[in-house]
Amino acid sequence: MSESPDDAPKKGIEVPLGEPTVSVRRLSVHYRVSSSEVERGWVSRRERLARRLGWNRIVTVRAVNDVSFVARAGESIGIVGHNGSGKSTLLRVIAGLETPTTGDVLATSTPTFLGVNAALMPELSGMENIRLGLLAMGHTPREVRKIVPDVLQLAGIGDAIHRPMKTYSSGMGARLRFAIAASDRPEILLIDEALATGDVASKERSEARMAEIRRQAGTVFLVSHAAQTIEEMCTRAIWLHQGEMILDGPAYEVARAYRWWAWNLAKGEVAKANGLLEDARAQLRATVVHPEDPTTDRHISRHAHPS
């Protein structure tokens, strides 16, 4: 963890809140996997012994565990947490790419998902990928011609746009994917780490586009390990830890709490870090809004999952 604690008070981004767009209700995603596949996280003594003896048991990984919240138009929500905390799984369920074990997600429109591995073709040039991507998003060839200059400007990768994508750096690829997905100014945009690799200029363009989506009463979700990215780009943040929601609040507050916890953990101050987790949980319990409350989701009718 390269980040250090920053105690300077931050103002954060403030936006007027609109109607609910996404409601996540008591969502859990549990995977049943062979014990030898579980590499990360805590392993019991019994499990260690079983592995040493070569026994293979089926264990449950609680990737997301009983998470609830309501997102509103005009919000950009950062999802922050350590490796394996459930960030990508949560985003995939909101995108409708994965079915939850229990709970559900309601959304006012189908979210646009922008993953690090969004399917672009490495052999084709950036320009060809833009055209194909836009056609795949349902645009007509005439619309594609109109939209391409906007995507090129947002991607900002110059002449490299005519080179095969397999020659791009991960940052260039990420910017291109963001530019294609954001060209639609979707009502609900889900981004998985794609912005973390950009340089300063591209980050500013991405930030401006996210602000524009927010102004048009859209909702943006951004998954990142980097508390700073979340703080700079989001209005609100959710901290996940081992699948559990630890804190939900203004991005600068959550980013600061997360950073302080991660810093203590990195310094080996485990007891202090555990205490900070407990404090954050207590704060969440004191502020939580229950999505079961009919007033919070009365405007949400369509299920996020196409099936």
Task: Please give the residue ranges that form the binding site for ligand ATP (CB under 6 A).
Answer: 31, 33, 40, 61, 63, 81, 83-89, 225
d(CA 218, CA 20): 10
143: enclosing H helix or E strand: helix 141-155
What helix, strand, coil percent values describe the chain, rounded to 5? 40, 25, 35
d(CA 27, CA 99): 10
> Least distance in Å: CB of 88 to ligand ATP?
3
> Least distance in Å: CB of 252 to ligand ATP?
21
> Least distance in Å: CB of 40 to ligand ATP?
5
> Least distance in Å: CB of 90 to ligand ATP?
7
For residues 72 and 225, which CB has a smaller minimum distance to ligand ATP in the complex?
Answer: 225
Q: Which amino acid makes up residue 148?
A: V
For residues 238 and 257, which CB has a smaller minimum distance to ligand ATP in the complex?
Answer: 238
> How many Cα neighbours within 13 Å face the side chain of 227?
24
For residues 73 and 257, which CB has a smaller minimum distance to ligand ATP in the complex?
Answer: 257
Query: Any residues with CB less than 8 A from the CB of 269 and at least 6 apart, and which?
Result: none
For residues 53 and 58, which CB has a smaller minimum distance to ligand ATP in the complex?
Answer: 58
For residues 175 and 225, which CB has a smaller minimum distance to ligand ATP in the complex?
Answer: 225
> Least distance in Å: CB of 54 to ligand ATP?
21
Sheet holding 20-34, edge to edge: 58-72, 20-34, 102-107
